[in-house]
Amino acid sequence: MSINRRQFLGFGGAAVAAATLAPGLRLIELAQARSPEEAVTSLHRWGLLIDASKCADGCTSCVDACHEENGVTSHNRPATDAQWIRKVTLKDKQTGHVQTLPLMCLHCEHPPCVDVCPTGASFKRADGIVLVDKHICIGCRYCMMACPYKARSFVHEVTTGQKAHAPRGKGTVESCTLCVHKVDRGDGSTACADACKQEGHQAILFGDLKDPGSEISKRLASQPSTQLRADLKLNTGVRYQGI
């Protein structure tokens, strides 16, 4: 098929129009908050930036706040209690330098937990949040084995006192939801980030990785940061500094 001159000019005009209009349209979409009936889109990608150098040794306010926010209760059985976020202590054996950092689901772009899930219960939302659909989770725990960060927990016992925004049930796997109920409400923060800010450490920053104007994007662009196990090429949504 040959293209005549008129068609060629037509295509060219359309391309120019798209290039001029598209960035503007995108800005408008980003600027407007999502209404409750709108589906999430890949225009956003939510993530965290955690500065381990600001994370205080012995402080567990992020863990406490997360478990309070999401109704994750303990049965005083540490081996089987669910944990959505935990404090990890790193020690350099050469120098003896010790530091701590919070670790949770890193909301990978290519999540191994989603790859291995036999029912499709483990999934990634369009805005990058990795979740478990507990309605279809069969509790096989493949995702727990696939996750390189040990971010997921299995609910071993009957749960009571769940929060209305965070249903939890025996026999399903769960993990950090990046406070998806707060994200959908437009709070612009997570329970852990709020708690860390309140403690005065400001080690956790929540934001939109795809919005070049967001604080998290600006800091990522101007300061060095790392992904945990970057060799796995999972492109985590949670990035770290100072480790």
Partner 1 sequence: MKQFTVALLVGLLTASAAFAAEPKKPARVPVPTILINQDKGEQCVEPTEVMRRDHMKFILHQRDKTMHQGVRTTKHSLKNCVDCHADAKTESVLGKDGFCESCHAYAAVKLDCFECHSALRETANVTVPSSSTVRALNVSQQKTGESAGSTGSRQAKGKKP
Q: Catalog residues that contact partner 1 under the rule CB under 8 A.
A: 34, 36-40, 123, 125-127, 131, 133-135, 159, 161-165, 167-170, 172, 180, 183-185
- Nearer to partner 1 (CB atom), residue 34 or residue 219: 34
- Nearer to partner 1 (CB atom), residue 34 or residue 201: 34
CA-to-CA distance for 217 and 224, rounded, in angstroms? Answer: 12
Q: Which of 14, 3, 98 is nearest to 53 (CA)?
A: 98
**Cα end-to-end distance, the chain, whole Å:** 58
- Nearer to partner 1 (CB atom), residue 1 or residue 164: 164
CB of 44 to partner 1, least distance (A): 10
- Nearer to partner 1 (CB atom), residue 134 or residue 219: 134
Alpha-carbon separation of residue 188 from 85, 178, 215 (angstroms)? 19, 11, 12
- Nearer to partner 1 (CB atom), residue 55 or residue 114: 114
Cβ proximity of 207 and 18 under 8 Å = no
- Nearer to partner 1 (CB atom), residue 54 or residue 134: 134
Residue with tokens 């089987």: 80
Q: Which of 132, 59, 131, 158 is nearest to 99 (CA)?
A: 59
CB of 171 to partner 1, least distance (A): 9
- Nearer to partner 1 (CB atom), residue 133 or residue 215: 133
CB of 164 to partner 1, least distance (A): 4
CB of 124 to partner 1, least distance (A): 10
CB of 206 to partner 1, least distance (A): 16
CB of 192 to partner 1, least distance (A): 20
Q: Which of 101, 57, 144 is nearest to 238 (CA)?
A: 101
C-alpha R_g of the chain: 21
CB of 119 to partner 1, least distance (A): 13
